[in-house]
Amino acid sequence: MMSNTRALKPAWLIAIALLFPVMGFAAAETTAVRVELSLRHDRPGAKINRELYGQFAEHLGRGIYEGIWVGEDSKIPNTRGFRNDVLAALKELRIPVIRWPGGCFADEYHWRDGIGPRSARPVRVNTNWGSVEENNAFGTHEYFDLVEMLGAQAYIAGNLGTGSPHEMAEWLEYITSDSHSTLAELRRKNGRDKPWKIAYWGVGNESWGCGGNMRPEHYADLYRNYTSFLKTPNDNHPQFVASGGYNDLTVWTEVLAKNIPSNIDGISHHYYTIPTSVWEKKGSATGFPEEEWISTLEGALKMDGYIQANRKILEKRDPDNKVKLYVDEWGTWYDPAPGVREGSLYQENTLRDALVAAINFTIFHKHADRVRMANIAQTVNVLQAMILTDGAKMVRTPTYYAFKMHLPFQDATFLPVEIKKSARYMLGGHEVPSAMVTAALGRDGKIHIALTNLDPNKAAAVAVDLQGYAATVARGLILTADRMDAANTFDRPDNVKPRPVEYKIGPAGLHVDLPPKSFVVLSLESKTGDIR
């Protein structure tokens, strides 16, 4: 496939043209569009909660089995059954939270199936995802082993659909009790003396669909019933998350915020980005035309409107901002690749997916005062995964690197950026901004700026007015590739990987050239004093 990039002027020439236009180096001489930004470090916003970079691992396809868990007897190097290569890669992302066991799987999962000797655990049928056999080798103990090894927090989705308040309450007691109750002693018998820490507890999942096909009013009553019995020690009480709506649906947020007066810390919302408007024919993960490039990015931008609509309801019903919005399922979803087993949801991951991630992070940062958590679907081998595996082989995806490049934004303070001049990228009735930007003051005292060029054909010459912030050091990385569908394969694992980016800092501010279809993160500091 031929590259769809165009020849660019050297970065230093563009920078000179921006700083010294009187010399005749006009921007029109290049294919770059001009983007002018103003960083408002004098108007710090909300904390960007690190849980916005959360993960989601469901019993689906090869996400858990073969992806994360191979068992102690596997020839693939492992630690207590967990793949060493996958563990090492995930540790680099400093994953804040992992949602488990689903998804749709959660509302048919009975926790007692996944404890005790693995040889004695029952085999069930995963009716949601291909009717494959589920041997329950990965259960409660294995899940908490994973989150502890990764230094993450636990987020469990409890079974509301086919379970009972009694079953859910007993699972929570098994996890958190420090007493000598029968359930606590059973946990000790199964190898865990001390209780585990549980940060978040979801009461059901997608209760409007696979979680029970309920009306929001009925779910609200069930939620109140179930949470009445979910009791823990005072120092180990999770935040309770109600199952909310999806896409542009706001009725769930409206009904739940109105009818659940207590025992609620958050409402979930789900949105998946697809290239088309037809769910049954979503489009391909690779080999797609440019029109599906722009339609996918346009679809990702809808997240902003969906969050706006739901937070408007919450601000009316909850003006004190006690109930947060959790986007605990998001990401791209394409048609299955030829030869891939139906229901496994394995798909290739390309540069397009990395830019979708960058778009979503920019949106999440903007709403960080209300959006506390987001969980991409999913961690390994499923949908927009961080990692793909094939037997003993493993590869980090472009999305993995988008997450890694955003590490400085975890628990940083949002800084607004005013866009003074930009352009639009348009094709076939679709339209998106050429460039997107988000910025934050990190815990390290540095200013971090993330810039995304969504146009696959034109470079963007970006000038950032730092508003008096005397930046003397800038370090940065860029993620880009020649093709729109460039991917990291098992034969070419470093095809799409961050590399140093060129920039220039001068009296006029910061200047950086963004090649077509690229993502850049810059970290700035000042030796004359920062803005902490």
Q: What is the pLDDT of residues 325-363, one digit of tens each?
A: 999 999 999 998 888 887 899 999 999 999 999 999 999
Burial of 38 from C-beta contacts in 10 A (0-12 / 13-18 / 19+): middle
Q: What is the pLDDT of residue 17?
A: 35
**Which of 66, 298, 329, 348 is flagged as catalytic?**
329
Q: What is the pLDDT of residue 528?
A: 60
Residue 396 and residue 118 in contact, taking contact as beta carbons nearer than 8 Å: no
Q: What is the pLDDT of residue 4?
A: 32
At residue 44, the 3 state secondary structure works out as coil
Cα–Cα distance measured from residue 285 to residue 291, given in angstroms and rounded to the nearest whole number: 13
Cα–Cα distance measured from residue 129 to residue 109, given in angstroms and rounded to the nearest whole number: 13
Q: Is 206 a catalytic residue?
A: yes
**Which of 66, 206, 292, 348 is flagged as catalytic?**
206
Residue stretches of the chain with pLDDT short of 70: 1-30, 527-532
Cα–Cα distance measured from residue 156 to residue 154, given in angstroms and rounded to the nearest whole number: 6
Q: What is the pLDDT of residue 78?
A: 98
Residue with tokens 């995964």: 385
Cα–Cα distance measured from residue 101 to residue 157, given in angstroms and rounded to the nearest whole number: 6
Q: What is the pLDDT of residue 469?
A: 87
Residue 239 and residue 201 in contact, taking contact as beta carbons nearer than 8 Å: yes
Residue with tokens 């979708």: 356
- pLDDT tens-digit series, residues 17-60: 333 232 222 333 347 899 999 999 899 999 999 999 999 999 99
Q: What are phi and psi of 186, to 5 degrees?
A: -65, -40
Please report the DSSP string for 42-103 in residue order.
Answer: TS---B--GGGGEEE--SSTTSSBTTTB--TT-SS-EETTEEHHHHHHHHHTT--EEEES-S
Residue 159 and residue 167 in contact, taking contact as beta carbons nearer than 8 Å: yes
> Which residues are within 8 A (CB) of 504 and not within 5 positions of it... i.e. 6 or more apart?
12, 15, 19, 510, 511, 512
Q: Is 329 a catalytic residue?
A: yes
Cα–Cα distance measured from residue 459 to residue 48, given in angstroms and rounded to the nearest whole number: 29
Residue with tokens 């180990």: 236
